[in-house]
Structure 1
C-alpha cells in the first residue's frame, strides 16, 4: 500500500511542478507574470489524480523573477483518497534566455484516508526545491522549460514523497 501511495505522490508532485503559465500576454511595461499548471493522472485500482498550481510573479529585472506559487492535488483510488495543498515563494534567474536556475519553497498540508482500514492521516511537510534547466523560445515572450528540481529537505522514510528529485517540464509566458 505504501508503494502505491508513494508512486501516486511522485506522479502528482511531478505534475504539480510541471507548470504551464497561461493567461493574457502582459503589456511591454508590465512586470507581472501570471500563470499556473494543471495535471491529470490515471492508474490501476481506479486511481485518479487532479492537480493545479497557480502562480503570480514579478520581474525584478529582465533576468530575475520572484513570486508566489500555490498547489492543490486530489487523488483517489479503490483503497485511498488524499488531498494536498501547498503554498510558498519562488525565484527564477534566467541566463541568455536559454537556461535558468530556480528555487521554490513549498509548505504542504496533506489529508490522507485509507478506505480499506478506515485510517485517517493528516500531516504537514516543507520542501525546498533547487534546480534549473534549459529554455526554448516558442514565441515572442513564451518559452518551454525542461529541467530538474531537487528537494533538499527530503528525507527517506519520513516524507510523503517517494523521492526528492522532480522533473520540470512546462511553459512560461510573459518573460
Structure 2
C-alpha cells in the first residue's frame, strides 16, 4: 500500500509540474502556483531514501504567497525501515525577484521499524520551519528555489530528526 501511495504521489506531482510548465506564460494572470521537490539517496548497508514534497500556493498579493505543502518519505536499509507523511500550511514572501523568506508548519506522521532489534514506533511530530533562500529563473514563470530552513520546535533528545537545520531545493511554477 505504501509503495502505491508513494508512486501515486510522485506521478501526480510530475503530471502537475509538466502540465503547468507547458501551459503558462508571463501574460497569465493565474494566481495559483504549483511545485515541490523530489529527493533520492543511497548509502551504506543497502540504505535507500525516496522523498517527494508537492506544494500548491496562491499569490495573495504580488510578492506574498500562501498555500499547503505535503511531504512523503520512505527510507530503508539492512537495519531499519521508516515511512513519514507530513502536511501543513506555508507562506513565502519574495523580494528583489531573486530571494524569498519562508515559514511553514508541518505535522508529521512517522512509522519506524528497527529490523535488528524488532522494535516498532509510531509517532507524530510538529515542525515550524523558518528560513529563506535564493530563486533562479528556469523558464517564463518557473523558478528553482535553493534555501535553508530551521525547525524552531526541534529538541535534541525528543525529536525523530537529527538536526533542526534543513537545506532545501525545489521548483515553483506560476510566480
Quote the residue 1:120 is aligned against. 120
Taking structure 2 as the reference length, the TM-score comes to 0.84
Query: How far is 1:103 from its partner?
Result: 0.3
Determine helix, strand or coil for the equivalent of 2:157. Answer: coil
- 1:51-85 C-alpha deviation (Å, 9 max, x unpaired): 11111111111101100011111111111101000
Determine helix, strand or coil for the equivalent of 1:22. Answer: helix
- Structure 1 stretches of 5 or more lacking a match? 1-19
Quote the residue 1:71 is aligned against. 71
Query: How far is 1:136 from its partner?
Result: 2.2
Determine helix, strand or coil for the equivalent of 1:156. Answer: coil
- Structure 2 stretches of 5 or more lacking a match? 1-13
- 1:16-48 C-alpha deviation (Å, 9 max, x unpaired): xxxx99341446121111222211111110011
Which of structure 1's runs of 4+ aligned residues deviate more than 3 A? none
CA distance in 2, matches of 1:165, 1:158: 15
Taking structure 1 as the reference length, the TM-score comes to 0.84
Matched, 1:162 2:157: no
Matched, 1:38 2:33: no
Quote the residue 2:137 is aligned against. 137
Question: Is the 2:36–2:171 Cα contact (8 Å) retained in structure 1?
Answer: no
Quote the residue 1:22 is aligned against. 17
Question: Is the 2:66–2:90 Cα contact (8 Å) retained in structure 1?
Answer: yes
Q: How many residues are aligned here?
A: 156
CA distance in 2, matches of 1:70, 1:125: 14
Alignment of 1:140-155 (within 5 A): 140-155=140-155
